[in-house]
């Protein structure tokens, strides 16, 4: 009996530790955790009328998936930063992929084409009217960013940076995570609070 309870005393904390490590949910995402394999969004059509799969970007070092939309003023404020990111990191093998899952007024495919042309997006802007991709990623707002590493595991998720007003940004979360990943390191900050407009999920 004594040995049995001793064993329990010894083993139980270990079991609990393993359980707690394996099952800790992400702080701001109830669906996906850092280190999880990126969900496959299947084939989504972009504003350039091309179809894009996650596997199409096999040659890229990192992928930055941004759930965004045409109408959320916060998301719109980040469009310029997404373009700059693609431009600055293009040569380093970083690929921005924007996905819009909102289907309310101003977010249809035609309106997306107009926006992509107006702003001269230098990255694919995909339309997912099924909204499945955002559900699988656990995206809750626009903009909501997921940096995928070379193995296409989530390496960082959350906000693009820490201020909607670009002139007031102090922490460039996504750029910092990318720099660290390209250096072969694990990002110091792997998750931050996403903020913006709630994604308008269907019934």
Partner 1 sequence: MVRLPLLRRWLLVGLAMSCVCGILACSGAGVSSSDQEVAIELTTGGMAELQQIVDDSQGKVVLVDFWATWCSPCRKQFPHTVELHEQYADDGLVVVSVSMDDSEDPEIREQVLGFLTKMGAGFSNLISRHGDSQQAFEEFDISALPHYVLFDRDGKRHDLTSPDPAKPVTTEILDQRVAEYLDR
- Residues in the site for partner 1, rule: CB under 8 A? 28, 30, 71, 73-74, 135, 140-141, 159, 161-165, 168, 171, 192-201, 203
Kindly state the smallest distance separating residue 190's Cβ from partner 1, in Å: 15
Nearer to partner 1, 71 or 122 (CB): 71
- Dist. CA 177–CA 189, nearest whole Å: 7
Write the CB contacts of 82 (distance below 8 Å, at least 6 apart in sequence): 66, 68, 96, 98, 121, 123, 160
Q: Are 146 and 156 in contact (CB under 8 A)?
A: yes
Report the candidate in 162, 182, 159 with the shortest Cα–Cα distance to residue 68.
Answer: 159
Does residue 201 come out as left (phi exceeding 0), alpha (psi in the -120 to 50 range) or beta?
A: beta
Kindly state the smallest distance separating residue 201's Cβ from partner 1, in Å: 4
The tally of CA atoms less than 13 A away on the side-chain side of residue 174 is: 31
Nearer to partner 1, 34 or 124 (CB): 34
Nearer to partner 1, 60 or 164 (CB): 164
Kindly state the smallest distance separating residue 69's Cβ from partner 1, in Å: 12
Kindly state the smallest distance separating residue 31's Cβ from partner 1, in Å: 9
Nearer to partner 1, 124 or 158 (CB): 158
Q: Output b/e per residue, 91-101; b: 16+ Cβ within 10 A.
A: eeebbbbbbbb
Helix (H, G, I), strand (E, B) or coil at 155: strand
- Dist. CA 134–CA 128, nearest whole Å: 9
Nearer to partner 1, 31 or 186 (CB): 31
Nearer to partner 1, 116 or 141 (CB): 141
Kindly state the smallest distance separating residue 108's Cβ from partner 1, in Å: 17
């Amino acid at each position: 009996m004594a040995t049995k309870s001793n064993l329990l005393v010894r083993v139980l904390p270990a079991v609990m530790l393993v359980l707690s490590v394996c099952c800790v949910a992400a702080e701001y995402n109830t669906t996906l955790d850092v280190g999880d394999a990126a969900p496959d969004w299947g084939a989504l059509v972009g504003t350039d009328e091309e179809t894009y799969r996650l596997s199409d970007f096999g040659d890229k070092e990192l992928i930055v998936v941004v759930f965004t939309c045409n109408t959320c003023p916060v998301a719109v404020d980040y469009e310029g930063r997404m373009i700059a990111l693609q431009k600055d990191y293009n040569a380093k093998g970083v690929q921005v992929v924007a996905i819009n899952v909102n289907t309310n007024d101003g977010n249809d495919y035609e309106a997306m084409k107009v926006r992509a042309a107006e702003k001269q997006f230098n990255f694919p802007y995909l339309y997912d009217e099924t909204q499945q991709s955002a559900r699988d990623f656990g995206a809750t707002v626009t903009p909501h960013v997921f940096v995928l590493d070379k193995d296409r595991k989530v390496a960082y998720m959350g906000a693009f940076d820490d201020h909607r007003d670009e002139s007031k940004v102090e922490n460039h979360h996504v750029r910092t995570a990318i720099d660290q990943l390209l250096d072969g390191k694990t990002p110091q900050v792997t998750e931050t609070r996403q903020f913006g407009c709630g994604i308008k999920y269907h019934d």
